[in-house]
Chains A and B, each alone.
Chain A
Amino acid sequence: MKRIRGMAVRLNPADRVFYGLVDFFLAVILVIVAVPLWSTITLSFRPNHFIGSNLEGMFLMPWQWSTAAYKALLGNTGFISAFSNSVKILVFGVASSLFLTIPLAYVLSIKTLPGRKYLNVFILIPYLFNIGLIPTYLVVTKLGLTNSLAAIFLPGAISTYNCLIMRGFFEGIPDELKESARIDGASELYVLLRIILPLSKPIIMTIGLYYGVTFWNDFFHAMLYLNVNHLQPLPILLRNILMASGMNEYVESSAFGEASIQAIKAASIFMSAIPMIAAYPFIQKYFTRGTLLGSVKG
Chain B
Amino acid sequence: MDMKSTVKRSKQKLMGDIKRHRAFYALLILPICYFIIFKYLPIWNGQIAFKDFMPLDGVLGSRWVGLANFTDFFQSFYFTELLRNTLFYSFMKLFVSVPLSIVLAVALYESARPRFSKLVQTMTYLPHFLSWVIVYGILLVLLAPGDGIVNDIIKFLGGKPIDFLTDTKAFPWIVILSDAWKEMGWGAIIFIAALMGIDSSLFEAASVEGASAIQRVWYITLPSIRPVIFMVVLLRLGTILDAGFNQMFMLYSIPVFSVADIIDTWVYRQGLLEFRFGLATAVGLFKGAIGMLLLVFANKLVRRISDTSII
- A residues bordering B, Cβ < 8 Å? 2-5, 7, 9, 11-12, 14-15, 18-19, 22-23, 25-26, 29-30, 32-37, 39-40, 43, 53-55, 58, 99-101, 103-104, 106-107, 110, 112-115, 119, 122-139, 143, 154-155, 157-158, 164, 187-189, 192, 213, 216-220, 224, 235, 238-239, 242, 262, 265-266, 268-269, 272-273, 276-277, 280-281, 284, 288, 291-292, 295-298
Given the known inter-chain contacts A103-B27, A238-B137, please indicate yes or no for A34 contacting B123, CB distance below 8 A.
yes
Closest to B239 in A: A130
Q: How far is the CA of A9 from the CA of B296 in the complex (A)?
A: 46
Residue of A nearest to B19 (CB): A114
When distances are taken between beta carbons in the complex, the residues of chain B under 8 Å from A216 are 131
Interface pair B284/A131, CB less than 8 Å apart: yes
Interface size class of B (residues with CB under 8 A): 35 or more
With A14-B214, A131-B288, A297-B308 as contacts: A138 and B138 at CB distance below 8 Å:
no
Contact between A128 and B295, CB atoms less than 8 A apart = yes
Q: Evaluate contact between A239 and B111: CB separation under 8 angstroms.
A: no
| 14 extra interface residue pairs, beta carbon distance < 8 Å, beyond A100-B34, A134-B284 | A18-B214, A30-B120, A36-B139, A53-B147, A100-B31, A104-B27, A114-B17, A128-B292, A128-B311, A132-B284, A219-B133, A269-B134, A280-B129, A292-B193
- Cβ-defined contact, A23 with B119, below 8 A: no
Whether the pair A242, B137 counts as a contact (CB closer than 8 A) is yes
Q: Are B147 and A269 in contact (CB under 8 A)?
A: no
Contact between B35 and A122 (Cβ–Cβ < 8 Å)? yes
CB < 8 Å neighbour of B138 from A36, A164, A219, A224 = A36
What is the distance, in angstroms, from B108's C-beta to the closest C-beta of chain A?
7
- Whether A22 and B110, one on each chain, are in contact in the complex, defined by CB atoms closer than 8 angstroms, is yes
CB interface residues, B 113-158, toward A, < 8 Å = 113, 116-117, 119-120, 122-127, 129-134, 136-142, 147-149, 152-153, 156
Would you list 24 pairs from A and B whose C-beta atoms are within 8 A, ordered by A residue? A18-B212, A18-B214, A19-B111, A19-B112, A19-B213, A25-B107, A26-B116, A30-B120, A35-B149, A40-B137, A54-B152, A55-B156, A119-B28, A130-B292, A131-B46, A134-B271, A135-B41, A136-B42, A217-B132, A238-B134, A269-B137, A273-B130, A292-B193, A296-B190
